[in-house]
Structure 1
Amino acid sequence: MLPRLTTTPAATTVFTMVLTQGPVSRVEIAKRTGLSSAAVTKAARPFIEEGYLQELEATERTAPGAGRPASPLAIKPEREFFIGVKITNDELIGVVTDLRAQPLASSHRPLATTDVESVVAELAELVAGLLATDPSYGARCHALGLAVSGDVDKAHGLVRYSPFLGWRQVPLARLAAAATGLTVTVENDVKALTVAEQWFGDGVGASSFALVTVGVGIGCGLVVNGRVVAGAHGVAGEIGHIPVGGEEPECHCGGRGCVEAIAGTAPLVAAVRAASAADADDAVAGQVVTTIETALAAAHAGDPAVREVFARAGHAIGLAMAAMANLFGPERIIVTGDVPGLVAYDLFEEQINRSFTAQAFGAAADCRLLLRPRTFEQWARGAAAVAIQTLFTL
């Protein structure tokens, strides 16, 4: 079971600041948070006593020419280890991280089926293998984070609906905890990646930002006033299901004209196959486009009909991003996704920027767009980052 720390709001504030922005002195923490120096010292004490924080050698004074040198507080990253696993429809990707979500070991395990019982059994094997890579992991790893696409009820560890896995109402946290003996947190994969960006990535220091993912689906994580937006029912930021294409095409969600139905991997491949076949003397050329990799090859070969497919995808994504920016005005938008999806980014980057700028209202168009490729190991790291949060929220 994950060690419990007696935390207060002040303690959580202090520890999170050191975790995400440290090393940082007590004086600086007090300045940034508005807490008194005494409150900062009191808040940090239990974390120091339990070995989560350490005082570094004094490097600066509290004021120029006066006062004693300040001793920065820093995380002891190997005090606790965490496992994060990204679950896809054909494999498990797992990582072991330290307290700062830095990956220390990783492993992939193929899935022959998405049957829940089989996936949980493979998950247990993956976790056991990761823990066995270093003796200290087993002794100081108590938490497992799982990242799953779809509608996830984090509070109850329930996967309500995952279209790519074909799951409905799966009590994944309970099943995984029974199989691994760890404290388990389950989160939507995009929200998990958003947490990693907020605490350890390009979102550090931003009070509001968005993360847009391009790949099998089109997802979005939102941070507003320093908090990940979950929504009243655990569903928020689903820009993949903003209708931008009129009545066509039909989406797997039951709606029509959704961004995901235009720019998701499967629709892109299908549209490229149709475009390349129509552009050829016969259907042979179109038949070879069966994967996102072959679709990308056709586009990079210069086929104008195929490139138009990617431009349409970029237009759809740009419109959805503009709608989201108009609604809550983020400081920045981080665009990421799985590797094949981001290899395609050069094919629709110009159209994304053009459509976003044209549709964004007023100063919303000044929002910075950052391209940050992320491997599936980094998505797994996002699951570990959510597990790290259990230090405060369980």
Structure 2
Amino acid sequence: MPSSSRSPHAETFPGGTPAASQIFTTVLSQGPLTRLELARRAGLSAAAVTKAVRPLIESGYLVEDADAGARPALGRPANLVRVDGGRALFIGLKLTGDEIIGVLTDLCCRILLARRLPLADRDPKAVLASTAEIVGELLTEADGYGVRVVGLGIAASGDVDRVEGVVRYSPFLEWNDVPLAELASSVTGLPVTVDNDVRALTVAEQWFGAGVGLADFAVVTVGAGIGCGLVVHGRVVAGAHGVAGEIGHVTVDPNGPLCHCGNRGCVEAIAADPAIVARIREATGVEVADSAEAVDLARRGDAGAREAYARAGEAIGRGIATVANLLGPELVLISGEGLAAYDLFAEQIRDAFAAAAFGSAAQCDVQTRPLPFEEWARGAAATAIQSFITAPN
């Protein structure tokens, strides 16, 4: 096995076929599994599983634990197959308007190290310089593991074209049409996957988190913006134009405040942190500086502040109901930094969802899942793992 983490582009996944990628992904997200369980869950024949598993074991990506499986009624124990998480390393970056959050993960997307680097400038050149700095720091740390870093994932807010690796529009970074994958690869020497940050978080939840084994679920994020990642029939969907799941721009009040997208009464124009702060300033005359001060004012019982959060909760509940009505997911996870104020609008979210969800869509399980930005960076690493596994040889 190569020893240096600084030898980019030298490692390719030995799968070679869609079936092998599918089998490996199944073991990665649901393993360890016996070959029989693997065939059943992947919907493949035992022969196809055996053929695909062999090169993955020979190359060290899968490990067979002899005598570790459950013993059938007759015959020898069924050996378990699992992923060797230490076989390869990945880096994930979450870009915000103020900082870069970076993580080093293993092949099972377990965070080994985390770093943060402030952004003094949002210009693409400055962000690329900071990207090179934090990646270089993580690569140096990775040398101690004696395993190659084989991919870099970057997650950014807004309209992101994963296929082309281009950030079409990011309101928080103030970017338009930045070919981030190409630029980041040139300064880091690593294969780069770029995706929308909420979709990246959704990939991590699908493969390694609360969505494992679910065919249909959604991740809704609240905070500086309102985002939504969708898993439909077992696949994270981006839509024909890369903006599927934009519930932040679903209109819930046609006479509501103007949104930065140009429409009125979008969920984001009512329920994103900046919108709540603006509403509180307008209603109370108090110059709250940020969402932390807004939360504090509401918790101290200020009527105008509490009304702003109640209104936000109603908008979020309606947005989630729209997702449930259209797609019928088994589960909706609510996450994001805005959960710090969840106690202020939880009741309104539940009531609005119940009122707007149609029929059996109301049976959708709605849960909260607080996730720090390191978990969003882990989502970026998950997209790099995904790209590595599915890339054609």
- The CA distance in 2 between the partners of 1:373 and 1:26, in whole Å, is 35
Contact 2:15 2:21 in 1 (8 A): no
- Return structure 1 stretches of 4+ with deviation > 4 angstroms: 136-139
1:11 is aligned to 2:23: no
What corresponds to 1:151 in structure 2?
Answer: 159
Q: Which amino acid aligns with 2:173?
A: L
What corresponds to 1:381 in structure 2?
Answer: 378
- The CA distance in 1 between the partners of 2:44 and 2:158, in whole Å, is 39
Shift of 1:347: 0.6
| TM-score, normalising length: structure 2 | 0.95
- The CA distance in 2 between the partners of 1:300 and 1:145, in whole Å, is 38
Cα offsets for 1:102-152 (capped at 9, x unmatched): 100010000111000000001000001111124245741021000000000
The correspondence for 2:36, drawn from 27, 33, 37, is 27
Could you say if the C-alpha distance between residues 109 and 251 of structure 1 is closer, same or farther in structure 2, counting changes exceeding 3 Å? same
What corresponds to 1:202 in structure 2?
Answer: 210
What corresponds to 2:300 in structure 1?
Answer: 301
- The CA distance in 2 between the partners of 1:273 and 1:77, in whole Å, is 50
Contact 2:26 2:42 in 1 (8 A): no
- The CA distance in 2 between the partners of 1:292 and 1:132, in whole Å, is 37
What corresponds to 1:275 in structure 2?
Answer: 283
1:83 is aligned to 2:83: no
Contact 1:61 1:67 in 2 (8 A): no
1:348 is aligned to 2:312: no
- The CA distance in 2 between the partners of 1:24 and 1:131, in whole Å, is 32
Structure 1 gaps of 5+ residues are 278-285
What corresponds to 2:6 in structure 1?
Answer: none
- The CA distance in 2 between the partners of 1:93 and 1:61, in whole Å, is 41
Could you say if the C-alpha distance between residues 104 and 60 of structure 1 is closer, same or farther in structure 2, counting changes exceeding 3 Å? closer
What corresponds to 2:271 in structure 1?
Answer: 263
Q: Write out aligned runs for 1:1-150 (5 A).
A: 1=9, 2-60=11-69, 63-64=72-73, 66-136=74-144, 139-150=147-158
Q: Secondary structure at the match of 2:127?
A: helix
Shift of 1:265: 1.0
Contact 1:7 1:392 in 2 (8 A): no
Q: Which amino acid aligns with 1:18?
A: V
Q: Which amino acid aligns with 1:30?
A: A
Q: Secondary structure at the match of 2:194?
A: strand
| TM-score, normalising length: structure 1 | 0.95
Name which of structure 1's ranges 223-232 and 39-48 shifts more when overlaid on structure 2: 39-48
Contact 1:131 1:138 in 2 (8 A): no
Q: Secondary structure at the match of 1:69?
A: coil
CA-atom RMSD in angstroms = 1.2
Q: Write out aligned runs for 1:228-267 (5 A).
A: 228-267=236-275
- The CA distance in 1 between the partners of 2:335 and 2:374, in whole Å, is 13
- The CA distance in 2 between the partners of 1:84 and 1:53, in whole Å, is 23
What corresponds to 1:224 in structure 2?
Answer: 232
- The CA distance in 2 between the partners of 1:183 and 1:138, in whole Å, is 19
- The CA distance in 2 between the partners of 1:373 and 1:73, in whole Å, is 32
- The CA distance in 1 between the partners of 2:314 and 2:164, in whole Å, is 37
Structure 2 gaps of 5+ residues are 1-8
% identity of equivalent residues: 56
Shift of 1:49: 1.2
Q: Which amino acid aligns with 1:22?
A: G
Shift of 1:391: 2.0
